[in-house]
Structure formats: C-alpha cells, structure tokens
Amino acid sequence: MRKVIIDCDPGIDDALAITLAIKSQKLDILGLTICSGNVPAEIGAKNASRVLEICEDANIPVYIGEETPLVRKLITAQDTHGEDGLGEAYDMNYDSNRIKKGGVQFIIDTLKNNNDISIIALGPLTNIAMALRQNKEVFNNLNSFVSMGGAFRIHGNCSPVAEFNYWVDPDAANEVYQNLPTKIHMVGLDVTRKIVLTPNIIELMHRIDTKMAKFVEDITRFYIDFHWEYEKIIGCVINDPLAVAYFLDPSLCQTIESYVQVVTTGEAIGQSMVDSGNFYRKPSNAVIAVDVDSKRFMKTFLNTLFPHDEIEVEAYL
C-alpha cells in the first residue's frame, strides 16, 4: 500500500478520481486536502466527504486548505461542475464530523513524520505552494508528486493555451514547479482529453452495479450536457481519474522529461511552458505525459469501480 495525500477541488472528475483511488485498494490515503478551484474549498470539502460516504470509507479525514489563490481572484468552474460542484445532483448525505481545517498544516506534518508519502494533486496547486512556502524542508521527504494540470501540445480549456488548474492559480503552479525538490509528473490535457466517459459505458455500469452507477450518472449528467453544448461531444472528459491511474501504473502514459514553467501574467496566464527544445538550458523539473492508452485506462477504471466476473468490457470502449 503506497501512502498518499490527495489534494483536490471536488469537482465531478475529482469525485471519480477519489473513488478510483479508494476502490483500487492499493493506496493508503492519509487524507484529502481541499483547495478552492472548481468550487470554493468549503463546498469541495463537503463533496469529498460525500464521496467517502458513497465509497463506505469511514477513516479518511478531509482537511480544508487555502480558500483563495495566492494572487489572483478565485474563479470557480461552477458552470462546468454545477453550483454544488457535483453536477447539481443535490444528493448530500455526508458526515460533517470528518471535515477539519488546516489542510496546509496537515500536508506539512504528514511529510515531516513520514518519508514515503506521495501527493496526487487534482486541483490548483495553492495548498502545495503554501506548504512549500511554510516549510520547504519537509518536501525532501516527498516520494513522488503527480499533478493533473497543464497542456503541452494541445490547446487549453480556459484559454487557447491554459488548462483550468494552472489558470486558476498560476502563481502557485509556477512556485511548485520551481521549488519542489522532486520532479513533477504532469498529467495534462494532452492525455486527459482522451479519457471520455460515454453513455455506452454508463449504461454498462448500470448493468453491473446500480448503486455506484447511479452515483456516476447523477454527478455526470450536468457535465455531459456541458460537453455537448460547448464541445459537441456525447459524453464527458474525466481528467482527474487518469492522474490516479497513472500514479498506480505509470506505464499507462508515454512521457518526456523537460523543464516546465507556468506563465503568471499577460494573455498566456496559466500556460504550462514545456521547454522540450531546451531553449532555457535548465535541468528538467517535470515528467510530462504526452500520450495514453485510453482503452487500457477505461478498462482498469471499470474493473476497479465495477468489479465483475464474466463481462468483457473491451467491446464497449
């Protein structure tokens, strides 16, 4: 069992990523730390708690972290994820007792007391940047760091060049790229855009496990409508679960190593500049996912959330 902290902003695809992480039974999830992103952190914490309820997990604590980006004003994605951040399903049974404050301190303390912690970051990097500002030393204990964010050879989803997580808090993203002692595994839109949950797959889910399928369907319906309206896709792109799957099995993605910095001002704000041509002559600080075996991802995702014996899921992907 690898020990992880999942830093996130739930968020529909964050919810699916947390579910994948728990159901994989391969991770010892020490805590979920929440930042503002898709929704304000307080709403995100309730959503995280709701997901833990669905997964019937009684032990994982939820910590609210930073409520605003380092410099920019918070811009949420409630148009994409719904006012409640979970597709306006308003199915809100959750245990408020597991929600605590002090996300940044939790990250620092956990790293201080262990030397085998990894972080999977599924939202803006505000909590991580804050923790680095307050105690850079403890990050020497960090095992590995995966960040869903950025875009390399593909267009952004907030501007022609910027992906949402880095665009919401570009200052935090850049600080993390410049200061983390270990290389960041950047799982960006180049690969996550290839992960599409289609109605066919949702129908298949229903046939296997109605309760879990109902949760997935309830939270993704709004998201699917958004995708049709803005992108003319039937289905929805689920970014964050790929970061978890990649952490569990890096062979899912092809990668390159390079120096990355994040643009913090001007028109290109939030862009992840991947110096694959080595113009800056700086040592690489990132491992960037450039391609993915999307069918293998979806197979793993389905087999993990919807364990079954005799169904060959391949035919539906």
Binding site for Ca ion (CB under 5 A): 9, 11, 14, 122-123, 240
Give the pairing of strands 62-64 and 27-34. parallel
Tokens 């270990």 sit at which residue?
Answer: 182
Strands 184-187 and 62-64: unpaired
Q: Closest Cα to residue 69, out of 36, 102, 40, 103?
A: 36
Pick the binder of ligand BDR from 7, 66, 84, 163 (CB under 6 A): 163
Please, which residue, 22 or 191, has the CB nearer to ligand BDR?
191
Active site (annotated) includes residue 9: yes
Residue 278 CB, nearest approach to ligand BDR (Å):
27
Q: Could you tell which of Ca ion, ligand BDR, none binds residue 164, using a CB distance below 5 to 8 A set by kind?
A: ligand BDR
Please report where in the chains the tokens 């409640």 appear, as a residue.
Answer: 84
The residue among 11 and 170 lying less far from ligand BDR, judged by its C-beta, is 11
163 HSE (CA, 13 A, CB side): 28
DSSP 251: G
Judged by beta carbon, residue 123 or residue 235, the one nearer ligand BDR is 123
Which is it for strands 236-237 and 196-197: parallel, antiparallel or unpaired?
antiparallel
Give whichever of 31 and 241 is closer to ligand BDR, judged by the CB atom.
241
Q: Which of Ca ion, ligand BDR, none sits in contact with 84, Cβ below 5 to 8 A by type?
A: none
Q: How many residues of this chain bind ligand BDR (CB under 6 A)?
A: 15
Name which of ligand BDR, Ca ion, none residue 259 binds, using a CB cut-off of 5 to 8 Å depending on partner kind. Answer: none
Is 7 a binding residue for ligand BDR by CB under 6 A? The answer is no
Q: Among residues 158 and 305, whose Cβ is nearest to ligand BDR?
A: 158
Structure tokens at 307: 């364990």
241 binds ligand BDR (CB under 6 A): no
Extract the tokens encoding 285.
Answer: 């600080």
Backbone angles phi, psi at 265, to 5 degrees: -140, 165
Q: Enumerate the β-bridge partners of residue 258.
A: 286
304 binds ligand BDR (CB under 6 A): no
Of 111-150, binders to ligand BDR (CB under 6 A) are 122-123, 148
Q: Is 239 in the site for ligand BDR (CB under 6 A)?
A: yes
Choosing from 240, 245, 246, 306, the residue that interacts with ligand BDR (CB under 6 A) is 240
What letter would DSSP give residue 74?
Answer: P
Footprint of ligand BDR on 55-94 (CB under 6 A): 77, 80
Site for ligand BDR in 20-39 (CB under 6 A): 38
223 residue type, one letter: Y
Q: Are 59 and 95 in contact (CB under 8 A)?
A: no
Residue 309 C-beta: closest distance to ligand BDR, Å? 32
Other Cβ atoms within 10 Å of 309 Cβ, number: 5
- In whole angstroms, the minimum distance from the beta carbon of 30 to Ca ion comes to 19
- E strands within 160-304? 184-187, 196-197, 236-237, 253-258, 260-262, 272-274, 286-292
Which residues are within 8 A (CB) of 312 and not within 5 positions of it... i.e. 6 or more apart? none
> CB-wise, 7 or 175, nearer to ligand BDR?
7
Tell how strand 196-197 and strand 286-292 pair up. unpaired
Site residues (vs ligand BDR, CB under 6 A):
11, 13-14, 38, 77, 80, 122-123, 148, 157, 163-165, 239-240
Residues labelled catalytic:
9
